[in-house]
Amino acid sequence: MFRITRYAATACLLAAALAMPSSEPTAPAAAVPPVRHVFVIVLENASFEQSYGPDSRYPALSVTARGQGTLLDQYYAVAHYSAGNYQAILAGVAPGSDTQNDCPRYRDMTGAARAAFGQVKASSGCIYPSWVPTLASQLTAKQLSWKGYMEDMANQGAREQSTCGQPALGPHNEDLTQKAVNGDAYAARHNPFVYFRSVTSIPACAANVVPLTDLPQDLATIGHTPNFSFITPNLCDDGHDSTCNGKPSDPSAENSWLQTWIPRITSSPAFRADGALFITSDEADNDSGACCQEPSGPNTAYPGYPKSAGTDVSFTGSQGSGKGGGRIGTLVISPFVRPGGTSSTPYNHYSLLRSIEDLFGLTHLGYAGQPGLQGFGTDLWSVGAGISAPPGPCAAADRPAPATPCRPPER
């Protein structure tokens, strides 16, 4: 594993599938649009109705951004609480018992053993051993760049590391970032990179998992924009906390955050050239519905039941109690989707990982390789692999031979 610097080449070509040490990996899809820059924003605890219904809590998403992209209106989370969903997007893993309780203690898994489809069977703990691959390690191996941008990370060094974002620990390994404090609402459980030793054990974690304040300068040029950007607001701006130590944290704060960051991303040179922005939520309030024949994983029979909720029947779902994280919806904005479009094909967070891997020509990790799971298809993408990208230095006709990086000039 080697370090990818911020000046690493921006790859502009889909290439052959990358074999990773995951159980039963499946091959990438053949027909995908020429997206080379993927941005993922994860919000908190919002059902489909809360996000896109007539009383949406953030019109910046449901009205303004909605007209720019295609809405996946049958998109589901895969777990309760937060941590399991973030980790599923990054590595295709199902939650363990501690993950299902939002990882209150930051500790390695005990008794970790390999299970089918890249899963890990463990007795306790939240941190996956170094032999568990992630999307980050896939991209690094293929010489593609990635970064995680975490709002408020590094604001208070007593709570978390200034880069990478691993939490400071209390006397019993308690994660000190579980609650917001004055001036710092970063939450490690919303930073999936820190739960994989394959990421935290290498210098790339410190170099690539950075505060959100780094994103504007990285967006300024194509050459500085990572191929994959994972973006999380703080607990005040993501819809999680109802009060936030004197800082606004009601829906208007979340709406204001979206009004600021969506245009910054969609106006960037990399996005305009060949980008795709996915805006999703981690889970739905009071809904454990699932789709896509979601498996439970080796550690818990009901990923949709938070450990602390037991078998609370108030957690209900349209497709079976306790199966998943509920219907949330996901908006996709890209030059390669239909503005104002809607797809009602069922998808979930494993589908999102699978689809990102398809865009970069990677094999499918974990439950992203689940038999029968669909990646995003022509219901979303309005162009296929044979359609040229928008004009620019990385347009299809200008692309070099496979595996040769495209290095566009600075803009």
CATH fold label, 37-398: Alkaline Phosphatase, subunit A (3.40.720)
List, as one string, the DSSP characters of 224-249.
GS-SEEEEE--TTTSS--S--TTS--
- When mean pLDDT is compared across 215-219, 224-228, 316-320, 330-334, the lowest value belongs to 316-320
Residue 257: name the closest of 57, 47, 38 by CA: 57
pTM: 0.85
Which helix (H) or strand (E) element contains residue 121?
A: strand 120-121
Decide if pLDDT at 195 tops 70: yes
CA dihedral 39, 40, 41, 46 (to 10 degrees): 150
- Kindly indicate the confidence band of residue 249, based on its pLDDT and cuts at 50, 70 and 90: low
How far apart, in whole angstroms, are the C-alpha atoms of residue 240 and residue 100?
17
The full DSSP string for 186-222 is --GGG-GGGGBHHHHTSHHHHHHEEEGGGHHHHHTSG
The distance from CA 238 to its chain's CA centroid, rounded to whole angstroms, is: 14
Return d(Cα 126, Cα 140) in angstroms, integer.
23
Buried b (16+ CB within 10 A) or exposed e, 139-170: bbebebbbbbbbbbbbbbeebbbebbbbbbee
Query: Would you say residue 178 has pLDDT above 80?
Result: yes
pLDDT tops 60 at residue 52: yes
User: CA 367 to CA 352: how far, in whole Å?
Assistant: 11
CA distances from 279 to 60, 209, 215, 390 (A): 12, 19, 16, 22
Domain boundaries of the chain, sorted by first residue: 37-398
Let me know: does 273 contact 225? Beta carbons within 8 Å.
no
- Per-residue pLDDT tens digits for 197-245: 999 999 999 999 999 999 999 999 999 999 999 999 999 887 665 566 6
**Average pLDDT of span 181-207:** 95
